[in-house]
Amino acid sequence: MRRTWLAGVPLVGLILTGCSGSGSTPSGESHRTTVSASGTPSAAPTAAGAGWNAWTANYSAAGGRCEATAHQVVCRTGTGGLVGRSRSTGEVTWTVPPAGRGKDADLVVDSATERAVTSSGKALRAANLRTGKAAWTRPLADGSAFPVVIRVADGTVYVLETPTAGTKVITLAAFRASDGKALWDRKVAVDPYGDMAAFGGRVYTTDGTKVTARDARTGATVATTPKGVECSYLISGGKHLVCTGSPISAGDVFPPLQRLDPDTLRPMKTAEDTGDKPERGVISSDGVLVLYEANAEDSSAGSWNAYDLVHPKRLWSYDDTTEEGELAGDRFLTFTPRNDAAVRDRVISIDLRAGPKGTGDAAPHLSPRYSQARGGEYPRLAVPGGDPGHVLVQAGTHRSLRSIPLP
């Protein structure tokens, strides 16, 4: 992976401590968004031959989460609307107008099928990344009044609707990403706040305790976790599947970190976690889980902990004040702690295996200070596919986007 050295020198033996304040989202959204970079993406509607540059742009108060492919930035605009932005200037290059009313769902941007998918209340909507036009709209089975969970894998969009109050059995449906053709749907007993994973020809959900794997082509159940395995929340990456405690739990005791065999759903040997509250995690293709764990009694205090899933052990820890973090090749990106005056308001790049104490090529790198990275902006990160050498910082308070060189 190409790395850009920024304003100064790499940090050697960096140790940051102190905790105050937890990260949030630009519009109070509870659902995450995802980008799939599988396959070879085609050029999206942007200036011919223009690559990623550094730039800053504003977005409207109605704007939602943004993601990035190797060729462009894509953002929600509320109630199912989408916009595309140039990777070289940040200017809007296409717009799909909002439609209807309702809570927005996840934003899934899939380079392989050239589709961006979101929802608005009673409908699922997709835009064509190549043309910048609406690709298709499909009604949701139950007309969810709350955000739905969306994932994409191997050319298929999977949608997990959210229930009305007191309802546990809800709809899990699959649609062809290219044209929205309905492939199958199932009424399932699922906790939508436990998230959903899709990879390797299977779709995984949890009911808050038990994990179920379904065949991606038919929706038929093919495996469940054995008795005694507790899974409140799913994290996936590459071909790895991990259970953690729920980030919305009101308790102070959580089930231990548990890696599952994706085929049988049997538990596998797993590194011991810290015992703190798991908030959010990302997993690299070679099996490094980076998990943000916060103090259950004081969520403003937390740390990113890296676990080797293949050779079970904890690799390193980094004290921080945000659960916003992403992967960029063999590096982990997050924001520096807001309460450390020496380094705050920056993006930090950490080697996945060496951690914050790495040296030489594996040393952590810092970006310059950016106003968009201040804790009070509730900033978020989006990493483009490919190797563009840039990362997108989205500020929530003053609603600005900034493309910066990758630290």
Q: How far apart are CA 47 and CA 52, in angstroms?
A: 11
Provide the β-strand partners of residue 186.
172
CB atoms within 10 A of CB 398: 11
Residue 352: alpha-carbon gap to chain centroid:
17
Q: Among 368, 404, 394, 391, which Cα is nearest to 66's?
A: 394
CB atoms within 10 A of CB 12: 11
Residue 289 · residue 316 · CB < 8 Å = no
Residue 3 has pLDDT above 80, yes or no: no
For residue 43, what pLDDT is reported? 40
Q: Is the dihedral of CA 335, 385, 281, 159 positive or negative?
A: positive
For residue 153, what pLDDT is reported? 96
Could you report the per-residue pLDDT of 78-134, keeping only the tens digit for each?
A: 777 899 999 999 999 999 998 766 565 679 999 999 999 998 877 889 999 999 999
Average pLDDT across the chain, whole number = 86
- pTM (2 decimals)? 0.87
Q: Which residue has the higher pLDDT, 102 or 343?
A: 343
In the block, tokens 């955000």 appear at: 147
Q: How far apart are CA 83 and CA 338, in angstroms?
A: 31
Spatial CB neighbours of 193, under 8 Å, sequence gap ≥ 6: 30, 233, 246, 248
Q: How far apart are CA 306 and CA 352, in angstroms?
A: 7
